Structure 1
Amino acid sequence: MNPDNKKNILKQCVYEFLGTGLIIFFGIGSIALSKLTNIHFSQYEISIIWGLSVSIAIYFSFSTSGAHFNPAITIFLWLSSQFSKKKVVPYIMSQISGSFFFTMLIYYIYNNILISFEKNNNIIRGSQKSLDIASIFCIYPKNYNNFMHDFITEIIITVIFIIILMKLNNKNLFFTSYNILYPILIGILVTIINASFGALNNIVLNPAQDLGPRIFLSLVGWGKSAFLGQENSYFPYFLVPTIAPIIGINLGGWIYNLFIK
């Protein structure tokens, strides 16, 4: 069976769509629940939910699509000749579409609560104040950080992330338990990263995880502010979660292949 024929590529893209969407559905769902209701999760609890979501999504999709869920990983695998060029764009579009669609589901589920929260707090969509609500769905800078700080931090964290991920992605490391342990270990890795740095500096690791929700927000009232972030920034903030992970993943992959492999 040719994995690159149109029928198989379509099936793989469906699994990328669903896998990416599941991560978004549970991850953003936990943030929405915490911010909009009286059920307040700590950073550690939200980090665990994100990590478990990643593990479940990998179990769901790995055997069919390889469970990329991340345009940065798809691009890295292509550039390192480990992934077919003809599948790069379909995979990336599936990942972004999955995050967009499942963000839409979360928005529908929480819509009444969201509108009530906005009214009670005099929040007008598209204003700087409304970015606090928008941060449920995608990242915006903390008051004590700036664009360049967050951009460089995202690169550093994604370099570390991909180096560890590539080391764990070693079939000789866990012998016959490899397929069972791998998704759990990646989920633990995501949990640790989010728990360690999420509250200090918003960490994405995955452009699709942020870009899909950001596009959706721009269509439901936030407009260009969904992409810009801080008014006094020279650069639109969406470049941090979109471009920095791609640089970090490819730099980290190069470091791993050259010095660690």
Structure 2
Amino acid sequence: MSISKGELIAEFIGSFILIFIGAGCVASLVLNGSEFGMWEISIIWGLGISLALYMTAAISGAHINPAVTLSMALYRGFPWSKVIPYVCAQVAGTFTGAAFVFGLYYPAFVSYQESTGIVIGGENSQEMAGIFSTYPAVYLNWFSAGLVEMCLTAMLIAGIFSFIDERNVFAPPKFLFPLAVGILVAILGGAFGSMTGFAMNPARDFGPKLFTALAGWGEVALPAQNWYFLVPVIAPLIGAVIGGAAYDFLIRKNLPALEQGEKVKEIMETRSSPQRETNVTNV
């Protein structure tokens, strides 16, 4: 199946929005001292993803994440011929999003360096680089950080699969799907983001790391300390495989057949209708 230019543009724009909103939020925190806690940051990232999905999902499905693309190809029949083009568009989008954030906040970067003495590319400039991509807490080693990213991505993919499962009568309607995904990301970020920055997305991390490496951070960004850049690339892909398999074997195969699910849905709607009519009458 051939891929259209529109699909690649949509993946590029969706990935751009993800970093433009998310990294912009972190830049405000680090450079301007905005009072954001982990939950507020997670909510902004989540809503950024919702915006990206609302804008582009009708064109490309709005994967905006190689882990999602991989899981869709493995378990949901997404054409393998589109995987590499999608991933390239996603990385290009996150790279460009990081470049825009850097450009808009450039005076703040200059001011921050002057006031702190921390120079872009210096040994202690990782906090600035962390505006764009993820780094682990100091107490985490490769394995621990990878385990966190793997588990978070597995939960993300399982959640997405449940949202799009036609046999799941509790799946959100299509117009609420982007919001549901954003809330899921926010919840995962709020719960575990303080450890690894909740990348859950190889493109979300590698694209901005590539930009910051070229923008002056050098080895602080790529390959990062102990070649850490590999962790948020490899671990989410493994998590995607595990999450998709876990959903299909533990949840999907135990869901009622489509016809039975429709009957259950009809019964639920019938039972709720009299209550709604009573409420209207009372009003």
Q: Once the 2 structures are TM-superposed, how far is the Cα of residue 174 of structure 1 from its aligned partner?
A: 5.5
TM-score of the superposed pair, with normalisation by structure 2: 0.84
SS at match of 2:188: helix
2:40 is the counterpart of 1:45: yes
Matched AA of 1:257: D
Equivalents in 2 of 1:125, 1:36: separation in Å? 13
Q: Once the 2 structures are TM-superposed, how far is the Cα of residue 96 of structure 1 from its aligned partner?
A: 0.4
Q: Which has the larger radius of gyration?
A: 2
Tell me, yes or no, if the aligned pair for 2:46 and 2:183 is still in contact at 8 Å. yes
TM-score of the superposed pair, with normalisation by structure 1: 0.91
* Partner residue of 1:98 out of 81, 88, 93: 93
Equivalents in 1 of 2:76, 2:17: separation in Å? 28
Counterpart of 1:137 in structure 2 is 132
1:191-213 CA distance string (max 9 Å, x none): 10111111233211111111110
Equivalents in 1 of 2:50, 2:166: separation in Å? 17
Equivalents in 2 of 1:159, 1:120: separation in Å? 41
* Partner residue of 1:67 out of 41, 56, 62: 62
Are residues 133 and 207 of structure 1, via their aligned partners in 2, closer, same or farther at CA, if it must alter by over 3 Å? same
SS at match of 1:199: helix
Equivalents in 2 of 1:82, 1:105: separation in Å? 35
Once the two structures are overlaid, the 10-residue window that deviates more, 116-125 or 103-112, is 116-125
SS at match of 1:259: helix
* Partner residue of 2:246 out of 211, 234, 255: 255
Matched AA of 2:161: M
Q: Once the 2 structures are TM-superposed, how far is the Cα of residue 172 of structure 1 from its aligned partner?
A: 4.7
- State the percentage of identical aligned residues: 36
* Partner residue of 1:239 out of 230, 235, 239: 230
Matched AA of 1:182: F
Are residues 52 and 126 of structure 1, via their aligned partners in 2, closer, same or farther at CA, if it must alter by over 3 Å? same
Q: Once the 2 structures are TM-superposed, how far is the Cα of residue 170 of structure 1 from its aligned partner?
A: 2.1
Tell me, yes or no, if the aligned pair for 1:141 and 1:229 is still in contact at 8 Å. no
Equivalents in 2 of 1:23, 1:77: separation in Å? 20
Once the two structures are overlaid, the 10-residue window that deviates more, 35-44 or 244-253, is 35-44
Q: Once the 2 structures are TM-superposed, how far is the Cα of residue 180 of structure 1 from its aligned partner?
A: 1.3
Tell me, yes or no, if the aligned pair for 1:171 and 1:178 is still in contact at 8 Å. no
Matched AA of 2:130: S
2:116 is the counterpart of 1:125: no
Q: Once the 2 structures are TM-superposed, how far is the Cα of residue 39 of structure 1 from its aligned partner?
A: 2.1
What are structure 1's unaligned runs of at least 5 residues?
none
SS at match of 2:105: helix
1:74-117 CA distance string (max 9 Å, x none): 12222336111221111100000000111111000001110221
Equivalents in 2 of 1:174, 1:191: separation in Å? 23
Equivalents in 2 of 1:159, 1:87: separation in Å? 22
Equivalents in 1 of 2:178, 2:166: separation in Å? 13
Tell me, yes or no, if the aligned pair for 2:129 and 2:220 is still in contact at 8 Å. no
Matched AA of 2:133: C
Aligned residues: 252
SS at match of 2:217: coil
Matched AA of 1:249: A
Matched AA of 2:244: G
Structure showing the higher helix proportion among its residues: 2
Tell me, yes or no, if the aligned pair for 1:35 and 1:136 is still in contact at 8 Å. yes
Counterpart of 2:84 in structure 1 is 89
1:43-62 CA distance string (max 9 Å, x none): 11111111111111111111
Q: Once the 2 structures are TM-superposed, how far is the Cα of residue 190 of structure 1 from its aligned partner?
A: 0.6
Equivalents in 1 of 2:206, 2:171: separation in Å? 37
4+ residue segments displaced more than 4 Å: 174-177
